[in-house]
Amino acid sequence: MEAIVIGAGFAGLAAALRLAKAGLKVTVLEQLAGPGGKAIGWEGVPTGPTLLTLPEVPQAIFQALGASPPPFQPVSPLTRYAWPDGRTFAPECDLEATLAQLSPLEARRYRHLLALARRLYQDAQATFLLGPPPDAACLLRYALAAGWRAYPFHSLARLVEAGPYLTPFFLRFATYLGANPYRAPAVLHNIAWVELGLGVYHLPGGMQALAQALYRLAQARGVRFVFGEKVLRLEARAGRVRAVATEGGWQRADLFVSAADRHFTLGWLGWPLPRETLGLSGFALLLHLAEPVPLGHYVYFSSDYPAEWRQIAQGRWPVEPTLYLHTDGAVAFLLVNAPPLPASAPVEAYARHLLARLAACHPLPIAAWRALSPWDYSQTAYRGALYGRAPHGLLGALRPGWGLGRLANLVQVGGTVHPGGGVPLALRSGWQGAAWLLARLGVEE
Ligand SMILES: Cc1cc2nc3c(=O)[nH]c(=O)nc-3n(C[C@H](O)[C@H](O)[C@H](O)COP(=O)(O)OP(=O)(O)OC[C@H]3O[C@@H](n4cnc5c(N)ncnc54)[C@H](O)[C@@H]3O)c2cc1C
């Protein structure tokens, strides 16, 4: 059987590997010049992900293919946080070392909120992370067993109220799924456990190196990659996708995986786009440094965190954004949250504004820089919304499933669908989504 995978991001790479392992002839169509998707990188500088959580997900994929996983290294401290009044905080997985940096009242709150995050994560794991998209029966089982104690009618902001420093600290994790933390449901607090409890990992060469390792593995398994190939349409008839149209012409296959943004897939099918609030976009600066600096992850909070989010909710680029900075040798990556398109201001002026703010918080010997605005991210994400639909409201944690209508031979995977965004979840989506499609078509692995 022949398969076409659209997109060579983490989800597409994982799906292609799973299909090739099952003996299919696989072609990956990718509009960009190389693999990695949001993690493609630019001259050695990250363009997207910088932190790896849940390293067991990529490790399991390498092991299933009989290959050695890359050397993931635990990061400590996890991230260095700073507030405008000079307060700093550098949490580690070592709880006692973390608590020692806090006042007795803060330490009690931290311990309590960490335990809560752990319980929410453990309760949600089976239904929302590990298996296929949950059906109604599965959701009901979760609701009866654990949903009632996941603070279903609380907002995240109410749940993590813990003083002027720890509140924004805990709120910020919801941005990892594209949420405005003030509109996120309480259950998204589980993300804090993934980073603070399970830890953060680094890979020499960054996440681009992980994408390259998966790409090489796929090539070795006979997967054919066509880069610079933009998909324009999917032709569907009688409950099956028949062919995909690219700028180079029509290509046929027996089964199809869309590992691109779900909105794009709906557009290729000519189906209406859902009317839903989109999640966050980002504005990044890619920096080349004149001298190498140590590996580090930093967050510089704004002086008024709620005001920043009010501006984003109004569709504006925040005047005084919280900065996320990643430094790694001769390169650095600066990221701030931004609303999805069409909201925008002049890119160059905003980039210079961010450079000035960075210089005030964390001076760096910048030799060259380049901005990536939501317009750039809109190439891989519909309207630049990095995680698709905003995970807001009661059912915010529930991502769209893998099926599209009644199309039997198409699966939608990646960071905009189940189990969600982020490198490990996109990998899991591609790896398991491909197996789900094979099982649905009765193809034995
Ligand atoms: C700035 C930023 C920071 C992030 N930080 C982290 C982090 O620290 N840790 C973490 O785990 N996650 C992070 N993420 C999230 C993570 O990068 C993504 O969730 C993940 O990479 C998504 O992978 P994917 O394969 O689903 O999608 P993508 O990487 O978007 O891959 C989809 C692919 O489909 C291709 N495609 C789209 N349209 C077409 C078309 N018409 N024709 C052909 N190909 C097409 C795209 O070019 C792309 O290569 C970050 C993301 C961003 C943008």
| pLDDT tens, per residue, the chain with 445 residues | 999 999 999 999 999 999 999 999 999 999 999 999 999 999 999 999 999 999 999 999 999 999 999 999 999 999 999 999 999 999 999 999 999 999 999 999 999 999 999 999 999 999 999 989 999 999 999 999 998 898 989 999 999 999 999 999 999 999 999 999 999 999 999 999 999 999 999 999 999 999 999 999 999 999 999 999 999 999 999 999 999 999 889 999 999 999 999 999 999 999 999 999 999 999 999 999 999 999 999 999 999 999 999 999 999 999 999 999 999 999 999 999 999 998 667 999 999 999 999 999 999 999 999 999 999 999 999 999 999 999 998 888 899 999 999 999 999 999 999 999 999 999 999 999 999 999 999 999 9
Token duo for residue 262:
């779900």
Q: Which contiguous run of DSSP H or E holds residue 169?
A: helix 163-171
Long-range contacts of range 139-146, CB-CB < 8 Å, 24 or more positions apart? 139/398
Q: What is the dihedral of CA 291, 358, 51, 181, to 10 degrees?
A: 180
> What stretch of H or E contains 212?
helix 206-220
Residue 359, phi-psi category: left (phi > 0), alpha (psi -120 to 50), beta (remainder): alpha
pTM summary value: 0.97
Is the distance from CB of 200 to CB of 53 less than 8 angstroms?
Answer: yes
CA atoms of 242 and 306, how far apart (whole Å) = 49
* Ligand 1 near 6 CB (within 6 A): yes
Partners of 52 in beta bridges: 201
Q: Which atom of ligand 1 is nearest to the CA of 29?
A: 43
Ligand 1, pocket-test mutation among 29, 32, 251, 380, most atoms within 8 A of CB: 380
CB–CB of 437/257 below 8 Å? yes
Query: How remote is the CA of residue 159 from the centroid of ligand 1, in Å?
Result: 30
Instruction: Find out whether the beta carbon of 282 lies less than 6 Å from any atom of ligand 1.
Output: yes
- Give, using CA atoms, the residue closest to atom 2 of ligand 1: 48
Closest CA to 264 of 7, 34, 4: 7
Q: With a 6 A CB cut-off, is 37 part of the ligand 1 pocket? A: yes
Which of 6, 27, 38, 61 is the best mutation target for the ligand 1 pocket, counting ligand atoms within 8 Å of the beta carbon and taking the most? 38
Confidence (pLDDT) at 394: 80
Atom of ligand 1 nearest to the CA of 47: 1
Ramachandran quadrant class, 257 (left: phi over 0; alpha: psi -120 to 50; beta: rest): beta
pLDDT of residue 338: 97
Contact in structure between 51 and 180 (CB atoms under 8 Å): no
Locate the ligand 1 atom nearest the alpha carbon of residue 229 and give its number: 43
Taking CA atoms only, the protein residue closest to ligand 1 atom 15 is 422
Determine the distance separating the centroid of ligand 1 and the alpha carbon of 84, expressed in angstroms.
32
The protein residue whose alpha carbon is closest to atom 29 in ligand 1 is 37
Is there an atom of ligand 1 within 6 Å of 384 CB? no
Tokens linked to 221: 């398994």
Full strand arrangement of the beta sheet holding 231-237: 231-237, 240-246, 249-252
**Among all chains, which residue has been given the structure tokens 């749940």?**
159
Q: What are the structure tokens assigned to 114, written together? A: 């960490």
Ligand 1 centroid – CA 37 distance (Å): 5
Q: Identify the burial level of 270 via C-beta atoms within 10 angstroms of its C-beta, where 0-12 means exposed, 13-18 middle and 19 or more buried.
A: exposed
Q: Which atom of ligand 1 is nearest to the CA of 50?
A: 8
Of 379, 310, 285, 284, the residue nearest 341 (C-alpha): 379
CA of 155 to the centre of ligand 1 (A): 28
Angle between helices 56-64 and 423-440 (to 10 degrees): 40
75 lines ligand 1 (CB under 6 A): no
What is the reported pLDDT for 342? 86
Determine contact, residues 217/65, Cβ cutoff 8 Å. Answer: yes
Rg of the Cα atoms in the chain: 21
Residue 38 CA: nearest ligand 1 atom is 29
Q: Name all contacts of 329-332 with Cβ < 8 Å and 24+ positions apart.
A: 329/289, 329/292, 329/293, 329/295, 330/44, 330/288, 330/289, 330/291, 330/292, 331/44, 331/45, 331/46, 331/286, 331/287, 331/288, 331/289, 332/45, 332/287, 332/289, 332/293, 332/364, 332/366
Cα 27 to ligand 1 centroid, rounded to whole Å? 19
Is the distance from the beta carbon of residue 8 to the nearest atom of ligand 1 less than 6 Å? yes
Considering only CA atoms, which residue is closest to atom 53 of ligand 1?
Answer: 48
Which one-letter amino acid corresponds to residue 166? L
CATH assignment of 2-73+204-276+387-440? 3.50.50.60
Q: Where are the alpha helices (DSSP H) in 2-135?
A: 10-21, 56-64, 95-99, 104-124
Atom index in ligand 1 nearest the CA of residue 10 equals 25
- Hey, what are 312's tokens? 């984003």
Phi-psi region of 270 (alpha: psi -120 to 50; beta: other; left: phi over 0): left
Question: CA-CA distance, 138 to 21, in Å (whole number)?
Answer: 29
Beta carbon of 422 within 6 Å of any ligand 1 atom: yes
Residue 11 Cβ inside 6 Å of ligand 1? The answer reads yes
Whether the ω angle into residue 419 lies within 30 degrees of 0, i.e. cis, is yes
- Measured from the CB, is residue 423 less than 6 Å from ligand 1? yes
The protein residue whose alpha carbon is closest to atom 5 in ligand 1 is 49
Residues 27 and 219: beta-carbon distance below 8 Å = no
User: Strands (DSSP E) along 238-380, which ranges?
Assistant: 240-246, 249-252, 255-258, 281-300, 323-338, 366-372
Give the DSSP H or E segment for 439. Answer: helix 423-440
Residue 36 CA, ligand 1 centroid: distance in Å? 7
**Calpha distance 434→271 (Å, rounded):** 23
How do beta strands 281-300 and 80-82 pair?
parallel
Domain assignments of the chain as residue spans, ordered by start:
2-73+204-276+387-440, 96-199, 280-384
Residue 264 CA, ligand 1 centroid: distance in Å: 13
Q: What is the pLDDT of residue 77?
A: 97
